[in-house]
Amino acid sequence: MTVHTEVRGSTLLVTLDVPKANAINVATSMDLYATFTELRDNPALRTAVLTGAGERFFSAGWDLKAAAEGEAVDAEHSPGGFAGLTEFFDIGKPVIAAVNGLAMGGGFELALSADLIVAADHAEFALPEVKLGIVADSGGVLRIPARVPQAIAMEWLLTGRRITAEDALRWGLVNRVVPAADLLDTALELAAAIEESAPLAVAAVLEVTRETEGMRVDEGFRLLRAGDLPAYRAMIASDDALEGPRAFAEKRSPEWTGR
């Protein structure tokens, strides 16, 4: 198996384990897609933490050996896109990338497709696709310009240079940079903090931010009020939306039911 899973409370810990560089081919993409489908469909799971085995590589991205053996550049990696996650938009539960080393090419794109990123202090990121005659079309060319200033995005995309964890933090690409020994605990603590919130509210935040990305504020409000966002509608009509204020008034912790 190239993907290992472990349940820690309500968190699904996902470890990519492909010696030597955690590179991803179609089979591994399908394994990851199945894993994130389980996250979506299992009501007992609230969050996921995704990391790589070892300390050197989070993921080297696309398996170039498989490519050299004939796996097409535009291979349909999975219904969730490359690495099973880059085009999987309706999970409804947060994924935290715990980047334990180099995140190169598709490995960087995999990290970018998570909702939050915690990086080890020795981690580095890069999108070197242009040096291979291709482009970072598993999310890099779309997500990087949306998250950092245009000039910075273009430099990274056109040169393929490596970005340190501290640079990624400075430009807002990662949430935390921590010593490698603290990486997994930090990611799990972040997951636990999210899990204190109502699950339908968390799903609504993910949906609204995704569907309104790039919109003007007035356009976003029109979409909210149109009733076309199912997770947002479910949150508004939920028992949990009543339980939160009630628990606050009664000075107790809320008991979320996800209904």
- Residues taking part in catalysis: 109, 129
Distance CA 80, CA 26 (A): 11
Task: Name the DSSP letter for residue 224.
Answer: H
Percent helix, strand and coil across the chain, each to the nearest 5: 45, 15, 40
Burial readout 79-101 (b: 16 or more C-beta within 10 A, e: otherwise): ebbbbbbbbbeebbbbbbbbbbb
The single residue listed with the structure tokens 């409000």 is 221
Distance CA 180, CA 164 (A): 14
The helices-and-strands tally (H runs, E runs) of the chain is 11, 10
